[in-house]
Amino acid sequence: MAIHAPTVTQKHLAVLIDADNAAAAIVEGLFEEIAKYGVANVKRIYGDWTGPQLGGWKKVLLDHSIQPIQQFAYTKGKNATDSALIIDAMDLLYTRRFDGFCLVSSDSDFTRLASRLREEGLTVYGFGEEKTPRPFVSACDKFIYTELLRGEALVAASNGHDRPEPEPLAEIETVNVASTPEAKKLPKAPVSFIAKILDDIADEDGWVHLGALGTNISKLRPEFDPRTHGYKKLSELIKGYPDTFELQARGTSGVGGSILYARHRQPGL
C-alpha cells in the first residue's frame, strides 16, 4: 500500500497595497515574502493613476498581475485611497473566501481595519516602513518592515558590519543610523526578551520547540524579524548568542529534517 505525504493546505490571501504609502522597489521582495504565508489570490493596488507620482508602480503591475484600482482625489490634501481600500477589504472579508489579508502601507489609518479583520478570525500580515506608527504594527498578527524586502539589512551585514552584542536589558531596541546609509548599524537583537519567553513557556528541562518560540515572540512583537538583526532565521539568531541560548536538534520531522529546540542557558550552568 502506497504511503502518501500529507497534503499541505496553503492559506488564501488578499493582498491590498496602498500605492501612496508603499514604494514600487519592494515589489519583488514583497511577493516572495507573501509566498511564505500562502497564495495571493487577490492582488490589488490603490491610487490615483492619472498622475505621474505612481509611475514606478505602473511599470511593474503587469509583471506581477496586480490589479490597479483608480481612486481620484476628490479634495486637495485628502486621501480617498484609504477609504477605497478599506471598503474593498470589507467586501472581500464577507465573501468568506480568504484566510488572511496582506495590508501594504505605512499609514496608521489602517489600524482599525487590521483589528476588524482579526476579530473575524483572519490572519493579518502588515507590510510597511520602519516609520509605521506602533498602533498599526500591533494590530497585525505579523508585521514585516519593507526595508528588509529591499535587502538593506542583509547587505549591511554582508559588508562587514559585525552583529551587535546582546543588550543588558529587555527594553525595545533602537536603530542607530550614521550619517551615511553605508554606515547603518544593525539593531541589537532582543536577547533578554527572547530569554524571558523561553523561561515562561519551557518544559521541565527548560526546552522549547523553536516553532512555538517564534509564535510566542510574534504574538508580543509582531514586527520581530531575525533579518532585522542580520540573521536569516530565528535558529541562526539563537546560535549567534551561544552564551545565552542553546540549540538542540532532535530526531527527524520527515521531509523537513531535524526538529529544533531552544533553551535559555541559566547563569552558572
Question: How confident is the model at residue 212, as a pLDDT?
Answer: 94
Based on the fold, state whether residues 18 and 131 are members of the same structural domain: yes
CA distance 269 to 265: 7
Residue 143: per-residue pLDDT: 97
Where does a domain end: 131, 150, 169? 150
What's the domain count of the chain?
Answer: 2
β-strand partners of 45: 17, 68
> Beta-carbon neighbour count of residue 186 at 10 Å?
21
Residues 226-261: pLDDT tens digits? 999 999 999 999 999 999 999 999 876 555 568 999
Q: Which domain holds residue 165?
A: 161-269
Is there a domain that residue 214 lies in?
Answer: yes
Q: In this structure, are 37 and 142 located in the same domain? A: yes
Residue 175 has pLDDT above 90, yes or no: no
Whole-number pLDDT of residue 181:
44
> Taking all residues of the chain, what is their mean pLDDT, rounded to a whole number?
84
Give the tens place of pLDDT for each residue, 111-167: 999 999 999 999 999 999 999 999 999 999 999 999 999 864 444 444 444 444 444
Query: Both 192 and 100 in a single domain?
Result: no
User: pLDDT digits over 2-30, tens only?
Assistant: 445 455 578 999 999 999 999 999 999 99
pTM of the model: 0.77
